Chain A
Amino acid sequence: MKKVGGRFALLAFVLVLSVVFFVPSYKPLYQSLPDWARKVLPDKGITLGLDLQGGIHMVMEVDEDRAVEIAVERSVSSLQDLLVDKKIPAESVKRTGATQITIQFSNQELKPQVQKLLEDYPTFLEEDSAGSATTVVWNLRETEITRIKDSAINQALETIRNRIDQFGVSEPLVQRQGPKQIVVQLPGVKEPKRAKDLIKETALLEFKMLDEENQLKMDFPVRIPKEKEAETLAQFAPKVPEGDQILFERVVERETGQEFRVPYLVKKRVMLTGDVLSDARVSIGQFNDPYVSIMFDSKGGREFERITGENVKKRMAVVLDNTIYSAPVIQERISGGRAQITGTFSTQEANDLSIVLRAGALPAPLKIIQDLTVGPSLGQDSIDKGVQATLFAGLLVVLFMIVYYRLAGAIADFALVLNLVCLLGALSALNATLTLPGIAGIVLTIGMGVDSNVLIFERIREELRQGKVVRLAVDGGYNKALLTIIDSHVTTLITGVALFLFGTGPIKGFAVTLCLGIAINLFTALVGTKVIFDVLNQRPKVETLSI
C-alpha cells in the first residue's frame, strides 16, 4: 500500500494557494468580497498588459546636446545683462559653438574687464589661443557638460512624472532606461494623443518684448493658415534685423476651430522664463473664455514688476515653446507677482497648459523613438478573442483525451485543470503582466500539458501489453517516462529563459507564462495524476485499467 495522504494534502495546499493568489486578479469577484476577506487576501494580482487593456508605451530620448546648448544660451543672456549692469560696452555676446561663447568689443582696453567677468562664470574656461585683442572666447568645462547632460535626463524624468501625476493615470510607469532613454507606460489611457502632447511638450515659457520700431512688420501678412508657417518664415528671414526673430501667434477661430498664425517681430532677448513660476491655474474670464493665471515666486515677482515698470505701453509676448500665446500691451507696472496668459484656447487646452506650467519645462526637447498605442476597444477585443480561443482549444483537448484514453484521459484532464489553476495562481503571485502572447503561452501550456500524460499513458499501455499487472504497469510507465519528460521540458525551458532574458514587453510576458507553465506541468503530471492512479490501485482487486 502506498501512502497517498501526504501527496493529496500537497495537491490541496497548492490548489488553495493558487486560488487565494488568483482571486485579486478577477476584479468583479474581489470587489464583492467583504472587507475582512480582502484584508487577508493579497491585494495585487495579474496586471493586464498594454495590449490587453489599452494604453501607451513610449521610449523617448532626451536631446542632450540641445540641453547643453540651452544652458550656454542662458549664460549668454545673463552675461548680456551683466555687461549692461557693469556698463561695459561690448559689441556682441554670442554662442559660437555648441559649448562656446564669444564676446566681442571694439576697445582693446576693455579686455581685462571682460576677462574678469569669468569669475562670475566658474563653469567656463577662457580659451587663450582663440581670442584676439578685441574678442574673448569662453568654453564650457568638460565636467560641466557631463553634469548638464546627466541632470537633463533626471530633470526630464522628474518633469514628466509631475505632469503625468497631474494628468491622472492609474499606475503609470516612468523610468530611466540606459544612459539617455526614458520609458513611459500609461495603461488604460483614454485620450492617448492628449497624453502624448502633454508629455512631449517642452513647455519653455518665455517673456519677450516685441520689436515695435523696425518697419519690417509692416510687410507681414495679417494672418496665415497654420501650414504656411515655414514658408512665411523663409520669405522674411533674410530681412530680420540682428537680435530679432519672427515668432507666430496661435489663433483659433472659435466658430470653425481652424488654426491660424499671426507673425510678429520679437526681440530675441529673454526677459523672464517660466523657472520663476510658483503656480498656474485655469480661470474663466468674463466672456466665459478660459485663461491661465500664473503666480511668480518672490524673485520672479520682483523681476516681473521691474520689467513691466520699464516697458509701460510696450507690447510683451508670452511665448511657449516658440509659439506666442498672447502679446498684450503693458498698461502699467504689475506688482503682486501675478499675471495672466490669455489666448484662444479651450478649457481643456487651458487645463493642459496649466499642468505643464506647474510641472515645469523640460530641459531639452524629447525625441520619441518608440511609441506603441493601443486603443481600449482593441484591448477588449483581444481579450474576448483570446479567451474564446483558449476555452475552445481547451475543450477540444479535454474531449480528445477522454475519447482516446477514457478514464486515464479524464485524469489527465483533471491535471490540465490543476495546471491552469496553478498557472493563473503563480502569475498572480508574481504580479506578472498578462499580454496577448501571454494568453497564447497559456494555451500552449494546455497543449503541452497533456503531452506529459500522453507519454506516461503510452508507456503504461506498453507495459500492459507486455502482460504486467495494472499496479506494476502504472509504476513502470511513470518511471520510464520520467526522464523523457524531464528532458523534453528542460529543452523548452531553455528557450523560455532565453526569451525572457532578451525579450521585451509582450515577449517577456509570453516567456514568463511558458516557463511557469512548464514547471507547473512537471508537477501536475508527475504528482497530480500519479496520486489518483495510486488511489485507484488501492482497491482490493485491480485487474483492468481504463486507458
Chain B
Amino acid sequence: MLEILGKTNFDFMGKRKMAFLFSGIMVLLGIVAVIQIARGAANLGIDFAGGTAVQLKFEQALRIDEARKALEGNGLGNAEIQEFGQDNKLLVRVKASTTIEEKTAERVMAVFAKEFPTNKFVVDSTTEIGPTIGKKLQEDALVAVVISFIGIILYIWVRFEWRFGVAAALATFHDVLAVLGAFYVLDKEITLLVVTALLTLAGYSLTDTVVVFDRIRENLRQRRRESEEATINGAVNQVLSRTIVTSLTVVLVLIPLTMAGGEVLHDFSLALLWGVIFGTYSSVFVASPLLLLWPGASGRLIKRS
C-alpha cells in the first residue's frame, strides 16, 4: 500500500488563528477586486467591458515595443498588447470607449500592414463587443453566480445542517474571492472564461469541503466524549490523504492544460489551478475551524442521528 501520508495527527484546529489571518487578507483582496469591478476600475475583459480584440499571427517575430509604437503612431495608443512568444502571435485589445461602428479591428490590421510591410500576418481571430452586450454578459454572469451559490447553500443545508451549510458557503466564497483577488493583484484580465472558471472552482472546492464535512458529521455522531475540537481535528486528519489525492489528480490535469493548452485556455486553467489549491487549503483550514465558531448545534445533530 503506497501512501503519501500515513496516519497523521496534525493539530489543524490549533492553527486556526493563523489560517483565519491569512484567509482574511485574501478575502479582503477579493472584496477589493469585487468593488473595483463594480466601479469599472478593474481589468475587465472586453467581453464585459465592450471593445475590440484582434489576434494576429506573424511570419516573423515582432517586438512588442515596436508593435506598441506603431499603434501609438496611428492613434491607437489606448490599445493593450499581449504576446504569445513562441508562435509570433500578438493580441491587441482596445477597450470600451470606442464603439463597434468604428471598425477598430480593421484599423488595427491596417496599421500592422502599413508599418510592417515585410512581416506578413494572418488574422487568428477578431472579437468586437458592443457595450450593450457587455452589460448583458455582466448581468448574466452575476445571476449565474448568485443562483449557483443559493443552490449550493440550500443543498448543503438540506443534507447537513445549517451551520455546515454556512461554513461550506463561506469557505467557497473564500476560495472564489481569493482567486479573484490574486487575479486582481496580478492585473490579469477578468474575462467571461475566468468567471466560468471561478464558478467551476466554487463547485469543486465545495466537493472537497463536503468530503471533510461528511467525516466530521460521522465522527460527531460517534464520539460524544471527546471535545468537539478534537473530533473535528481527528476527522480532518482521517480524510487528509484523500483530500490531498483528489486535489492532486485535478492538479495533474490542470498543469498540462495551463502550460500547453493554448492561449485561450491559459487563464481559465490557471484560475482553476489556484482555485483547487485554495479549495484544498480552505476545506482543512477554513471550513472546518468555522464549525467551531458555532458550537451550539452539535447536541441537536446527535439527537437527529
Q: Does B44 contact A (CB under 8 A)?
A: no
Query: How far, in whole Å, are A149 and B72 apart by their CA atoms in the complex?
Result: 42
Please state if A381 and B262 are interface contacts (CB–CB under 8 Å): yes
A-B complex: 4 closest residue pairs judged by Cβ atoms: A369-B130, A447-B253, A495-B203, A498-B148
Closest residue to A452 on the B side, CB-wise?
Answer: B246
Q: Does B269 contact A (CB under 8 A)?
A: yes
Most buried by A among B87, B147, B245, B252: B252
Render A481-502 as a binary contact track against B, CB cut-off 8 A, 1 for contact.
Answer: 0011001111111111111011
Contact of A450 among B127, B249, B268 (CB under 8 A): B249
What is the CB-to-nearest-CB distance from B57 to chain A, in angstroms, rounded to a whole number?
Answer: 7
Residues of chain B within 8 A (CB-CB) of A450 are: 249
Please list 27 pairs of residues, one from A and one from B, whose beta carbons are closer than 8 Å in the complex, sorted by A's number: A368-B130, A369-B129, A369-B132, A370-B128, A370-B133, A371-B127, A373-B125, A385-B262, A386-B261, A386-B265, A389-B260, A396-B253, A397-B253, A403-B2, A404-B2, A440-B268, A484-B210, A487-B214, A488-B207, A488-B210, A488-B211, A491-B152, A501-B147, A502-B140, A502-B141, A507-B196, A510-B196
Closest residue to B238 on the A side, CB-wise?
Answer: A462
Please state if B253 and A444 are interface contacts (CB–CB under 8 Å): yes
Please state if B253 and A503 are interface contacts (CB–CB under 8 Å): no
What is the CB-to-nearest-CB distance from B213 to chain A, in angstroms, rounded to a whole number?
Answer: 8
Closest residue to A496 on the B side, CB-wise?
Answer: B203
Residues of chain A within 8 A (CB-CB) of B123 are: 192, 373, 375
Contact of B261 among A385, A491, A496 (CB under 8 A): A385
Query: A487-B159, A488-B206 provided; 16 other pairs, C-beta below 8 A?
Result: A51-B264, A59-B133, A370-B133, A371-B100, A372-B128, A389-B261, A406-B2, A436-B262, A443-B257, A490-B155, A491-B152, A492-B207, A495-B148, A497-B151, A498-B148, A506-B193
**Contacts A487-B214, A502-B144 hold; do A454 and B249 have CB atoms under 8 A apart?**
yes
Please state if A373 and B126 are interface contacts (CB–CB under 8 Å): yes
Q: Does B166 contact A (CB under 8 A)?
A: no
Query: How far, in whole Å, are A503 and B195 apart by their CA atoms in the complex?
Result: 10
Q: Report the contact-size class of chain B (Cβ under 8 Å from the partner).
A: 35 or more
Contact of A382 among B143, B255, B262 (CB under 8 A): B262
Please state if B148 and A377 are interface contacts (CB–CB under 8 Å): no
Q: Does B179 contact A (CB under 8 A)?
A: no
Q: Does B65 contact A (CB under 8 A)?
A: no
Query: How far, in whole Å, are A381 and B119 apart by their CA atoms in the complex?
Result: 21
What is the CB-to-nearest-CB distance from A226 to chain B, in angstroms, rounded to a whole number?
Answer: 13
Closest residue to B140 on the A side, CB-wise?
Answer: A502
Q: Does A388 contact B (CB under 8 A)?
A: yes
Please state if A547 and B196 are interface contacts (CB–CB under 8 Å): no
Q: Does A392 contact B (CB under 8 A)?
A: yes
Please state if B250 and A377 are interface contacts (CB–CB under 8 Å): no
Residues of chain A within 8 A (CB-CB) of B125 are: 372-375, 378
Q: Does A393 contact B (CB under 8 A)?
A: yes
Render B139-159 as a binary contact track against A, CB cut-off 8 A, 1 for contact.
Answer: 011011101100110011001
Within 8 A of B (CB), among A95-142: none
What is the CB-to-nearest-CB distance from B48 to chain A, in angstroms, rounded to a whole number?
Answer: 12
Residues of chain B within 8 A (CB-CB) of A503 are: 140, 144, 196
Please state if B256 and A392 are interface contacts (CB–CB under 8 Å): yes
Q: Report the contact-size class of chain A (Cβ under 8 Å from the partner).
A: 35 or more
Please state if B211 and A447 are interface contacts (CB–CB under 8 Å): no
Please state if B133 and A369 are interface contacts (CB–CB under 8 Å): yes
Q: Which residues does A use to contact B, with CB under 8 Å?
A: 51, 59, 192, 367-375, 377-378, 381-382, 385-386, 388-390, 392-394, 396-397, 400-401, 403-406, 436-437, 439-440, 443-444, 446-448, 450-451, 454-455, 458, 461-462, 483-484, 487-499, 501-504, 506-507, 510, 514, 547
What is the CB-to-nearest-CB distance from A508 to chain B, in angstroms, rounded to a whole number?
Answer: 10
Residues of chain B within 8 A (CB-CB) of A440 are: 257, 261, 265, 268-269
Please state if B147 and A498 are interface contacts (CB–CB under 8 Å): yes
Query: How far, in whole Å, are A385 and B256 apart by their CA atoms in the complex?
Result: 10
Contact of B245 among A458, A491, A493, A495 (CB under 8 A): A458
Closest residue to B146 on the A side, CB-wise?
Answer: A498
Query: How far, in whole Å, are A491 and B211 apart by their CA atoms in the complex?
Result: 12
What is the CB-to-nearest-CB distance from A499 to chain B, in angstroms, rounded to a whole number?
Answer: 6
Within 8 A of A (CB), among B48-71: 55, 57
Residues of chain B within 8 A (CB-CB) of A367 are: 100-101, 130
What is the CB-to-nearest-CB distance from B240 to chain A, in angstroms, rounded to a whole number?
Answer: 10
What is the CB-to-nearest-CB distance from B231 to chain A, in angstroms, rounded to a whole number?
Answer: 17
Please state if B250 and A498 are interface contacts (CB–CB under 8 Å): no
Query: How far, in whole Å, are A506 and B127 apart by their CA atoms in the complex?
Result: 14
Query: How far, in whole Å, are A437 and B169 apart by their CA atoms in the complex?
Result: 26
Please state if A458 and B242 are interface contacts (CB–CB under 8 Å): yes
Within 8 A of A (CB), among B177-230: 192-193, 196, 199-200, 202-204, 206-208, 210-211, 214
